[in-house]
Structure 1
Amino acid sequence: MPRTGSGNGAVTRSTLRQQIADALRDEVLGGRLKPGQEFTVKEIAEQYGVSATPVREALVDLSAQGLLDADQHRGFRVHEYSLNDYRGMIEARSLVTDSIFRGLLDGEATTTRGARAALATRIDDPRTGAALAGVRRRGEEAQRAAAAGDLNILIGYDLRFWRELSGLFGNPYLADFLHRLRVQSWVCAVQHLRRVDDLRGRLWSEHTALVDALTERDAPTAHTIVTAYDAHSLALIEQLVAD
């Protein structure tokens, strides 16, 4: 973790704050910080060799995102999500993705003509095609990781895939909300997935099919893919919890 400093190349406090937040989020997603685990600002500052201020700010940010719980007297602890929490996340995810992808693509009455025209223009723009090609490559990497059962690699590519894809098709506020939901749902899921010795063949891997459907403006297929994904994710976690 870089230290703060002065002069050219110095890491600003806001940059350090984000780096610490990203690192701790990865610790939670990686299962190294477990649900209910407690720690203090001082412990994290010493771990990364930085001052307390950016650490405290990063922990507050993660608390606002729902990943940590703040205790005024004991520090922070990793939030413990329940199965009902996960069900709520999946439902919210479904509503947001419908709004981002399906509503704009299929010409429903709730979608304005201007929004549909703007999206059509965006899809036909060569820059959008190039961006979609990049998203598809991320999807290919996610699919390979899913097939191999490599959870760490899958999570990284999956989060980037969905963030870039939703950013291309939806408004930035919905895209940011979807990213937050996806981080939370992964945090909730990994505590159960990491108990499985072999995840090969059990993780969703239809990323490129979704990109292809959206590229072709095939809203029904895109909707079917996302709906099947949400159902698959929920069924898998419900099974693991029951086991």
Structure 2
Amino acid sequence: MVTADSDSLAPLAPASSLRERVEEAIAAAIVSGQMPAGEVFSAPTLAARFGVSATPVREAMLNLAKRGLVDIVRNKGFRVTAVSESELRAIVDVRQLLEAPAVRRLAGGLSKADLTRLRGLAEEIVRGARDADLTHYLQADTTFHLTLLELAGNPRLHDIVADLRAQTRLTGLADMVATEELQASAREHLDLLDLLEAGAAEECEHLMVRHIGHVLGWWAGHTEA
């Protein structure tokens, strides 16, 4: 059994919902490749790394199993599930088909309050990239994209994309810490907001297609043109 001895799994600060904090931290570690696919982790070992008791970790891992991020291995712990490149490509194709046109329709139609809220989230993404805080980066990124879809006014679209994001793996993200590529990816959220505010619909759509494509490029550890 592989133990979680990575320095990236830092102790967590107390929170009102510790199980949720643990769950999102572990999910971020799985999505970013810090906890590699195929490896088995025990609740007590992860609890020691996070500086919490085993109970919230076990509860978090059971929830992650329902989300498909881990499988339960009897008497051993939890195995991180894998997503093949072909599956990732299919996820990217569907996201580009759904999200890019939705963002295009939002161009020029967002209120000042909506833009201010989104800009705050975009700045959180930039801050997460700058501070090498992948958990914060991924949480802010997810909230940003799903908020855009909420504003598009289609709940089914929001739920479908949320599910697709939960299935995504960004196996090269952990190696992108402190790189210009991660900073550039983060800044694209601010660029998108500038285009949305300016009503540049076509440019918004193109930027979203390119941004989602990072799943198969930078965020997968591949070079992009």
Match in the other structure for 2:3: none
Counterpart Cα distance in 1 of 2:13 and 2:131: 32
CA distance in 2, matches of 1:183, 1:142: 18
Q: Which residue of 1 aligns with 2:117?
A: 134
Return the letter of the residue paired with 1:159.
T
Q: What is the rounded CA distance, in whole Å, between the counterparts of 1:130 and 1:220 in structure 2?
A: 23
Deviations 1:190-224 (A, max 9, x none): x3243468631464232123223334444322211
- Tell me the residue number matched to 1:115: none
The 8 Å contact of residues 22 and 57 in structure 2, kept in 1 or not, is answered as: yes
State the distance in 2 between where 1:201 and 1:17 align. 32
The match for 2:207 is: 225
- TM-score, normalised by the number of residues in structure 2: 0.69
Aligned match of 1:23 = 25
Distance 1:99 1:56 in 2: 40
* Larger-gyration structure (1/2): 1
Aligned residue for 2:79, secondary structure, equals strand
1:10-89 to 2 correspondences below 5 Å = 15-29=17-31, 31-44=33-46, 48-50=51-53, 52=55, 54-89=56-91
* Structure 1: gaps of 5 or more residues: 4-9, 107-118
Q: For residues 110-130 of structure 1, what are the alpha-carbon distances to aligned partners after superposition, in whole Å with 9 as ceiling and x for unaligned?
A: xxxxxxxxx96xx3xxxx421
Structure 1 residues 15-50: Cα deviation after superposition (integer angstroms, max 9, x where no partner): 443233123223335654332221234544566543
Alpha-carbon distance in structure 2 between the residues aligned to 1:130 and 1:30 = 32
Counterpart CA distance in 2 for 1:17 and 1:198 is 29
Q: Check the 8 A contact 1:21/1:59 in 2, yes or no.
A: yes
Unaligned regions of 5+ residues in structure 2, if any? 1-11
Match for residue 189 of structure 2 among 203, 207, 216:
207
Tell me if 1:194 matches 2:174.
yes
CA distance in 1, matches of 2:48, 2:214: 41
CA spacing shift, 1:234–1:151, aligned 2, 3 Å? farther
Q: When you count helix as a share of all residues, which structure comes out higher?
A: 1
**AA matched with 1:20:** V
In the alignment, what sits opposite 2:9?
none
Match of 2:152, as an amino acid? F
**TM-score, normalised to structure 1's length?**
0.65
Partner of 1:94: 96
Closer, same or farther in 2 for the Cα pair 1:140/1:193, shift >3 Å? Answer: same
2:165 corresponds to which residue?
Answer: 182
Q: 2: CA distance between counterparts of 1:45 and 1:237?
A: 27
Of the two structures, which has the highest relative contact order with CA contacts closer than 8 Å and spacing of 6 or more? 2
Question: Helix, strand or coil for the counterpart of 2:53?
Answer: coil
Spell out, residue by residue over 1:118-154, the C-alpha distance to the aligned partner (whole angstroms, 9 max, x if none).
x96xx3xxxx4213212123324535766x6947264
